[in-house]
Amino acid sequence: MAVTVKECLELQLIEVEMLLSMFPKKGEVNLNEDAVPSVQRYLRNTDGALPPQLEYAVTIDVGEAKVKVELQVLLPHTYPHVAPQLFARSDALHRQQQLELNTHLASHMSSLDSGELCICEAVQWLKDNSLPYLENSKISSESASEKVAVKETLRRMWIYSHHIYRQELRKKIFGCAKKLNLTGFCLTGKPGVICVEGLREHCEEFWRVIRYPSWKHISCKHVENIETDGNVDDLRLFRAFEDLQFQAHGDYGLRNDYHMDLGQFLEFLKQHQSGHIFQILFDVEGKLSD
């Protein structure tokens, strides 16, 4: 076995010398300064311990843009009689393209005759075949940038009802708002008002769910749409979905004649930069309660 290892290491050194002559510039072949001397010492005295496996990297320029692709090499002591461990990488490659490049490199290397030096062949294959992966990676980056640049829309819906009392209906409203990550409020009593804000498609789903099948006295009075390149959450006027109840006029309690103090409601709207909505909801100009 020692003789076989000796012969393999001698071939490995010959291949390293070939690579150094092919890539003479500093940094093109990155080799630990003690790697070759360690192998040479072992070859002079094979009775000693085996040297560390030869490990190095070859950097090549690909395409007109001279994009750098690095081939990392780890040689078992019995290479070339066993396959080397090879890995190609580049800062210009995304993870998926890098995976595909290495899969096809491994497939090519497995097609070669065993027992032959093959690192120079691997380097040449990368020079000839890396460009399509680099181009695909660039296209993926541009596509990802375009996706990031797509604007999102915050929708705010103002919904009016003659009244909102029933507990099962309120439970449905609050459950749906939470599920769809909507903020706003539900004003319980007579009249009833709901405001929801969030992603446009989530607001549309909320409206579809609560409106059907049997809510007759309800209408969407006003819709606001705001496009943004950033986060729609920054445009919200409400931090949560609130259960809004105000003192009623008179001592009626929560019954079908329970009328909300609309002056308090107007004050609440103004605190949330929405005072103008009062007139839209009730067709009157609002005045603050004393």
Residues 118, 178, single domain; the answer is no
**Chain length of the chain:** 290
Domain range for 172 is 152-282
How many percent of the chain have pLDDT more than 90? 59
Give the chain's domain count: 2
CA 115-120-122 angle, 5° bins: 85
DSSP conformation letters of 108-131: HHHTSPTTS--HHHHHHHHHHHSH
> At 60, which CATH number?
3.10.110.10
How many C-beta neighbours within 10 Å does residue 268 have? 17
289 within domain boundaries? no
On whether the CB atoms of residues 74 and 85 are closer than 8 A, the answer is: yes
34 within domain boundaries? yes
Is the bond leading into 80 cis (omega within 30 degrees of zero)?
yes
Domain finish residue from 87, 109, 139: 139
How many C-beta neighbours within 10 Å does residue 267 have? 16
pTM of structure:
0.48
User: Which pLDDT tens digit goes with each residue over 14-55?
Assistant: 999 999 999 999 889 999 889 999 999 999 998 889 999 999
Residue 249 — pLDDT band, cuts 50, 70, 90?
low
Residues 169, 122, single domain; the answer is no
Tell me if residue 88 falls in helix, strand or coil.
strand
Distant-in-sequence, close-in-space partners of 16: CB < 8 Å, separation ≥ 6 = 29, 31, 36, 54, 56
User: Which pLDDT tens digit goes with each residue over 54-97?
Assistant: 999 999 998 888 899 999 999 999 999 999 999 999 988 888 88
Domain finish residue from 109, 139, 169: 139
